């Protein structure tokens, strides 16, 4: 339950602290799409009685949140870093239009790729979009800075990114504060068309308005923005840092002067300049892109350029000590871990056996089934991003010599199909390759990889209660696909194998659904838990 007493003191994860802060901030609605390490925020928000729901993908989630904020409400939208790419189209222009209420985008980066397909840095994207970035370094700041992010958004009428990273999301700690109810927002559509319809004639001045807001926020950041200073005030070594790197720096360099920034875009350059003035050595300690060090150098502050190796992987105390000592990598290799594998009894294993039987070239996608690429199966041959299996499978079909083209099968999970695979289905119907094509949807009735969240195909909502169910095969029928069939991959293994083999031979379009529940949701009833995947370490979540 949400602590309402005044003052409060609770033990939470970083994600739970974000949710509590949003609930305390009296927000109007939360939306998002699961993705490790962000997935726990929305269910926690829902548990506080705030309207919250899973969207089919991050773009739709961002658009719903923008509608809430255009109506004067306060919206939180959650996603992992690669989800920002999906949501980027509305968000880049929403920076121009601004918002009437408040919009905070909780975006969780994954330095070191614990469960992702890349190591992109949201700070670099945020700068490109012109969206301010607030970065907590621990659980307490996850609470405090979420509230600051909402205040910045509401004060300047601009979307704000709350950039989290794996360690901040999943670390547990004590959060304390004094609960004060934020007055409810005034809900009304009062926006002038010039600020809400981004045609070129409106967007040109809106871009100038955005730059003006960013300049004003930078000034505020210099004077009143969130920051903390650690260590002696006059050390020869000055460290500028943010996020979890701040904790590593405090432990690795207790004798250094450390400036830990809370609002990292736009940067408080005057504050940084004053802090670093006359220091012998200036170092930016940060994970992922050299965002801080390059920004400082561009502003004429002589921060060191960190060795390239430090942009890869998470930082820790030992690595920060090495950075300070000027000892580039290599680090000691990490202890060998057991490779991830599909769960015992997972229906995906069964399907990959059948795909091997027909010697398929599998254009794959992201989900538990990506583990089909690893030994002993080695039966999934491409994977880049969510939804790519269908477009890439079609491209392979168009290009490979006929004998090979016939073997290409696009394999995608239910949540991923509804996320961005559906567009590939339309492409297949519209631009079919001469050899036809096969889409095989692995429908295990859940979004397994990120912790068994519901999706529009499961017929249940965020708290696992009944909701309208989208039947995946009906979408294929509506697109005019000739051969649409549903199989139980274990009980109807022979029929599915035969169907795949025959489909490889003809020139038609085929849409097969292998429907069998995930072992983690069948048998023992629905789990109400929405934690990070309790499958073995996912390849990419
Ligand atoms: C753009 C983006 N959003 C979210 C994720 C995190 N993610 C990876 S796979 C996946 C969905 C997996 O569900 P499903 O397709 O049903 O396959 P399953 O794991 O159930 O086999 C999610 C949410 C991601 N990698 N990329």
Q: The domain that contains 418 carries what CATH number?
A: 3.40.50.970
Residue 331 maps to a domain = no
With the most atoms of ligand 1 within 8 angstroms of its CB, the residue from 347, 348, 366 to mutate is 366
Q: Which mean pLDDT values do the consecutive 10-residue runs of the chain (541 residues) have?
A: 79 98 97 98 97 98 98 98 98 98 98 94 98 98 98 98 98 94 94 98 98 98 98 97 98 98 98 98 98 98 94 94 88 80 95 98 98 96 98 98 98 98 98 98 97 97 96 98 97 98 98 97 52 35 61
DSSP 106-173: EEEE-TT-SS-S----HHHHHHHHT--EE---SHHHHHHHHHHHHHHHHHHT--EEEEEEHHHHH-EE
pLDDT at 180: 83
Q: What is the CATH number of the domain that holds 268?
A: 3.40.50.920
Do 181 and 244 belong together in one domain?
no
Distance 36 CA to ligand 1 centre (A): 9
Whether residues 233 and 285 share a domain: the answer is yes
pLDDT given for residue 357 in this prediction? 98
Residue 386 near ligand 1, beta carbon < 6 Å = yes
- Does the reported pTM lie above 0.75? yes
444 lines ligand 1 (CB under 6 A): yes
Query: Does residue 233 share a domain with residue 141?
Result: no
| pLDDT score of 106 | 99
Structure tokens at 344: 């015992």
**CA-to-CA distance for 446 and 39, rounded, in angstroms?**
14
CA distance 256 to 275: 12
Residue of the CA atom closest to atom 3 of ligand 1: 83
Verify whether ligand 1 is closer than 6 Å to residue 387 (CB atom): no
Cβ-in-10-Å burial (0-12, 13-18, 19+) of 518 comes to buried
Cα 423 to ligand 1 centroid, rounded to whole Å: 16
Q: What pLDDT is recorded for position 330?
A: 72
Do 467 and 364 fall within a single domain? yes
Joined tokens for residue 193 = 């068309």
Strand partners for 468? none
Other C-beta atoms closer than 10 Å to the C-beta of 60 total 17
What is the spatial distance between Cα 400 and Cα 381, in angstroms, rounded to a whole number?
A: 14
Ligand 1 atom closest to the CA of 86, numbered from 1: 1
Q: Are 452 and 358 in contact (CB under 8 A)?
A: no
Ligand 1 lined by 369 (C-beta under 6 Å): yes
Number of independent structural domains in the chain: 3
Predicted local confidence at residue 1, as pLDDT: 58
Q: Which of 177, 202, 223 is the last residue of a domain?
A: 223
CA-nearest residue, atom 25 of ligand 1: 541
Task: Give me the pLDDT at residue 148, please.
Answer: 98
Residue 133 lies in a domain: yes
The two tokens of residue 94 are 């929403």
Q: How far, in whole angstroms, is CA 149 from its chain's centroid?
A: 18
Task: Judge if the beta carbon of residue 539 lies within 6 A of ligand 1.
Answer: no
Is residue 515 in contact with ligand 1, taking CB distance under 6 Å? Answer: no
Determine the straight-line distance between the first and last CA of the chain, rounded to whole angstroms: 28
């Amino acid at each position: 339950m949400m602590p309402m007493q005044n003052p409060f003191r609770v033990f939470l994860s970083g994600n739970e602290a974000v949710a509590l802060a949003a609930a305390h901030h009296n927000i109007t609605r939360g939306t998002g799409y699961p993705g490790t390490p962000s997935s726990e925020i929305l269910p926690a928000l829902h548990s506080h009685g705030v309207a919250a729901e899973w969207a089919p993908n991050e773009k739709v989630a961002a658009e719903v949140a923008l509608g809430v904020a255009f109506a004067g409400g306060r919206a939180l939208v959650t996603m992992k870093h690669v989800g920002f790419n999906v949501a980027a189209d509305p968000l880049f222009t929403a920076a121009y239009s601004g918002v009437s209420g408040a919009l905070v985008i909780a975006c969780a980066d994954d330095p070191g790729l614990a469960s992702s397909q890349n190591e992109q840095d949201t700070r670099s994207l945020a700068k490109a979009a012109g969206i301010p970035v607030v970065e907590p370094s621990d659980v307490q700041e996850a609470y405090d800075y979420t509230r600051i992010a909402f205040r910045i958004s509401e004060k300047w009428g601009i979307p704000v990114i709350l950039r989290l990273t794996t360690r901040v999301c999943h670390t547990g700690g004590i959060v304390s504060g004094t609960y004060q109810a934020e007055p409810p927002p005034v809900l009304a559509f009062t926006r002038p068309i010039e600020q809400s319809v981004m045609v070129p004639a409106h967007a040109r001045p809106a871009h100038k308005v955005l730059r003006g807001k960013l300049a004003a926020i930078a000034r505020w950041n210099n004077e009143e923005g969130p920051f903390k200073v650690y260590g002696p005030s006059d050390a020869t070594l000055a460290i500028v840092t943010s996020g979890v790197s701040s904790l590593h720096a405090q432990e690795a360099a207790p004798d250094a002067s450390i400036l830990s920034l809370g609002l990292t875009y736009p940067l408080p350059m005057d504050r940084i300049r004053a802090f670093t003035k006359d220091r012998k050595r200036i170092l930016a300690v940060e994970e992922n892109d050299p965002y801080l060090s390059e920004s400082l150098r561009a502003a004429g502050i002589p921060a060191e350029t960190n060795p390239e190796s430090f942009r890869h992987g998470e930082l820790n105390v030992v690595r920060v000590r090495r950075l300070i000592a000027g000892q580039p990598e290599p680090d000691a290799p990490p202890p060998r871990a057991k490779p991830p594998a599909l769960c015992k009894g997972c229906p995906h294993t069964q399907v990959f056996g059948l795909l091997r039987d027909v010697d398929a070239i599998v254009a794959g996608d992201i989900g538990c089934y990506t583990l089909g690429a690893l030994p002993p199966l080695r039966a999934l041959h491409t994977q880049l991003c969510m939804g790519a299996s269908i477009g890439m499978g079609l491209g392979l079909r168009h290009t490979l010599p006929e004998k090979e083209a016939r073997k290409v099968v696009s394999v995608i999970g239910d949540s991923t199909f509804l996320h961005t695979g559906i567009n590939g289905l339309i492409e297949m119907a519209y631009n079919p390759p001469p050899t036809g094509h096969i889409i095989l949807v692995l429908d295990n009735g859940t979004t397994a990889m990120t912790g068994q969240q519901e999706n529009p195909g499961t017929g249940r909502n965020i708290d696992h209660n009944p909701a309208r169910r989208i039947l995946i095969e009906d979408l294929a029928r509506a697109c005019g696909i000739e051969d649409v069939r549903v199989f139980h991959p274990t009980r109807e293994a022979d029929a599915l194998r035969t169907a795949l083999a025959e489909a490889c031979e003809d020139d038609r379009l085929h849409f097969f659904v292998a429907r069998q529940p995930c072992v983690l949701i069948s048998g023992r009833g629905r789990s109400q838990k929405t934690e990070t995947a309790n499958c073995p370490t996912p390849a990419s979540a």
